[in-house]
Structure 1
Amino acid sequence: MFVLMMYGAMIAAPLWAVAVVVKLVSVVLPGRRPDWARDLLLWSAGMTAAAAVIAYTIGLGSVQWDASEAESGAGSSPAAPCRSLPPATLDGLTGHEPSYFPLGFDCLLDGGRVVAADGPYSLLNFLTVAFALAAVVSLLAVGALDEYRARAETKAGRAADPRGAPWSMGQP
């Protein structure tokens, strides 16, 4: 299941990149709307959240692929990600353990030791967290921008209408 989702994410990744480039070009070109900054922040939050989902989905598929390869067929032992261990360590290999959160693939050794296997898992974990944090920061920036604009409009409204000021006591 995750492997199929990984293929979809691998197809979505270049489409995501094209969408980002098109949006960046549209921001650079003249003729933007006055509220383009807020829209860009909202769009960026959505796209970075999508990037986090894509990166994590690719990682899920990679972990499941490696686990499936290690459990069936000739030449499945030791698991492909564990084959890069030094020969002395490889002799003590007793099994493997896939991890879906966080992404990883561990090689189990004699005596209960666990060694992290080679693979793109740490990079995909980092990308997932980085994109998710960027999405949250973008949403917080939208909120801060909205708050700033609301306060500026309130302040401009008071300055333009002196009767609304508390010290005028309603007198013209």
Structure 2
Amino acid sequence: MFVLLMYGAMLAVPVWVIAVAVKLISVAVPGRRPDWARDLLRWSAGMAAVAAVLVYAIGLGSVQWDASEAESGAGSSPAAPCRSLPPGTLDLLAGHEPSYFPLGFDCLLDGGRAVEGSGPYGLLNALAAAFALAAVLSLLAVGFVDEFRARRQAKAGQMAVPKETA
């Protein structure tokens, strides 16, 4: 199931890239809306969240693909991520264990020890976390911009009202 999700995410990545490019171009051309900065922050938060989901979906599919490949067919043992272990460690290999959160693929040794298998999982975890953090920070920035505007309008409103004299 995650492999199908991965294929869908991989097809969505070019659409995401085109959407980001079009938005950046629309911000650069003259005649943009007066609240373009707030709109861009909100849009960026959404697109960063979408990117985090896409990257994580690709990682989930990758983990399931490696786990499936390790459990069926000729040449399935040792699992592909475990094949890069040093020869002495490879001789002690007893099995494997996929991890879906965080993304990873552990190679289990005879002594009960687990060794991390090779693969793009560390990079995918870091990218998903970075995009998620960017989404949260962008949403916080939207809140700060709104608060700044509200305070500025309140301050301008106080200056415009004449003071009563007694």
Structure exhibiting the larger radius of gyration computed from Cα positions: 1
Residue correspondence of structure 1 range 70-81 to structure 2 within 5 A: 70-81=70-81
Alpha-carbon distance in structure 1 between the residues aligned to 2:162 and 2:7: 63
TM-score using structure 1 length: 0.94
Structure-1 separation of matches of 2:17 and 2:84? 33
Code of the aligned partner of 1:97: E
Task: Please provide the CA RMSD for this pair.
Answer: 0.9
Which residue number in structure 1 is paired with residue 117 of structure 2?
117
**Which residues in structure 2 correspond to 1:4-83 (within 5 Å)?**
4-83=4-83
TM-score for both structures, normalised by structure 2? 0.98
State the 1:85 CA deviation.
Answer: 0.7
Q: What does the per-residue CA deviation read over 1:28-74, in whole Å, with 9 as the maximum and x for residues that have no partner?
A: 11111110000000000000000000000000000000000001111
| AA aligned opposite 2:42 | L
Unaligned ranges ≥5, structure 2 = none
- Aligned amino acid, residue 148 of structure 1: F
Q: Percent identity?
A: 75
The CA distance in 1 between the partners of 2:77 and 2:51, in whole Å, is 34
Report the counterpart of residue 3 of structure 2 in structure 1.
3
Whole-angstrom CA distance in 2 between matches of 1:150 and 1:12 = 38
C-alpha separation between the residues in 2 aligned to 1:65 and 1:112? 24
Q: CA deviation at 1:95?
A: 0.2
Inter-partner Cα distance in structure 2 for 1:22 and 1:117? 39
Q: Distance in 2 between matches of 1:72 and 1:161?
A: 78
2:154 pairs with 1:151: no
Give me the whole-angstrom Cα distance separating, in 2, the residues matched to 1:109 and 1:148: 57
Measure, in 1, the Cα distance between the counterparts of 2:118 and 2:30.
48
In structure 2, the residue matched to 1:133 is 133
Question: CA–CA distance in 2 between the matches of 1:14 and 1:70?
Answer: 30
- Structure having the higher helix fraction is 1
Aligned length: 166
Q: Which amino acid aligns with 1:112?
A: G
Once the 2 structures are TM-superposed, how far is the Cα of residue 92 of structure 1 from its aligned partner? 0.5
Q: Following superposition, which runs of at least 4 residues in structure 1 exceed 6 angstroms of deviation?
A: none
